[in-house]
Amino acid sequence: MTTPKVTVIIPTYNWSSVLRYSIRTVLWQTFRDFELLVVGDACTDDSEEVVRSFNDSRVHWHNLAQNSGNQSAPNNRGIELARGKYIAYLGHDDLWHPRHLEVLVQAMERDADIAYTICEVIGPPPEGRRGLTGFSSSGQYEYNQFVPPSSMMHLRNLSADIGPWLHYNEVKMPPDIEFLTRALEFGKRFEFVKELTVFKFPSNMRKNVYKERPCHEQAEYLARLEKESGFIERELIAAVGSLAQVHPQINMYGHEVTDQTKPGEIVRNWREWRGLEPK
């Protein structure tokens, strides 16, 4: 059996309807040298049957004996079983663009310990607020920065150096932020790939999803990814538009108009700054 370059880990718990869509976006990757480990957190639904229905030798099912209530235990089990040089994660209710693994492997082979792409965080209907992760004021990964696991890849031996994923009861930060912050404190090298490749539907923004187990949003986005030309560009525009609703005006000039502003004052200040107007 050949050793894959990438091990993809999908931690899951009793939500097989969305699991179908996340697995499909792994199998359509342009980068083909991977294995997929779907690790159940003691699942009791038909998740195993869903995984096996793909009938792909690269796809493997593992189910923890005891529920941990968090992604950390399934992630750690996936790392233990992994054969790939690199580890990538995908939330069971998230989706990947077909180029996701390709661009991350390219980044990792530039001597990175951890690489991550842009992720679009999609709020629930009807508002559908959007956000984009990955960006920071420095352009580098920063302390306590949110980078969803679905958008990152790291060396398999990273956890041997910095320690495993920790349960949420053991840390103050959410486990995914704590894991990357710990890597930063250990001096690991991060690389940010400025390409939108991940579409995240946060369950903590959707009430009772683990009771109702909907999958209509993932189904809609998958269909759009498959069929729409210019899909990425439209999503970026939608995300920027959503952010503009929160910050409706970005003042690039550094001057605000008030009741005390005199006619011509702003332009005269600009001219003075440029050396065109005497002080």
* Same domain membership, residue 146 and residue 12: yes
267 lies in some domain:
yes
pLDDT (tens digit, 9 = 90+) per residue, 132-169? 999 999 989 999 899 999 999 999 999 999 999 999 99
Give yes or no for a contact between 26 and 20, defined as CB atoms under 8 angstroms apart: no
264 lies in some domain:
yes
pLDDT of residue 1: 67
Structural domain of residue 268, as residue ranges? 253-279
What total number of domains does the chain contain?
2
| Integer Rg of the chain from CA | 22
User: pTM score > 0.85 for this model?
Assistant: yes
pLDDT of residue 273: 59
Residues of the chain with pLDDT under 50: 248-253
CA–CA dist 230, 106 (Å, integer): 23
35 lies in some domain:
yes
* Same domain membership, residue 52 and residue 37: yes
* Same domain membership, residue 178 and residue 204: yes
* Same domain membership, residue 131 and residue 110: yes
Q: What is the CATH number of the domain that holds 48?
A: 3.90.550.10
CA–CA dist 60, 77 (Å, integer): 13
Give yes or no for a contact between 112 and 188, defined as CB atoms under 8 angstroms apart: no
* Same domain membership, residue 263 and residue 209: no
1 lies in some domain:
no
pLDDT of residue 251: 46
DSSP state of 5: S
* Same domain membership, residue 31 and residue 134: yes
Q: Tokens at residue 43, please?
A: 């699942």
pLDDT (tens digit, 9 = 90+) per residue, 59-98? 999 999 999 999 999 999 999 999 999 999 999 999 999 9
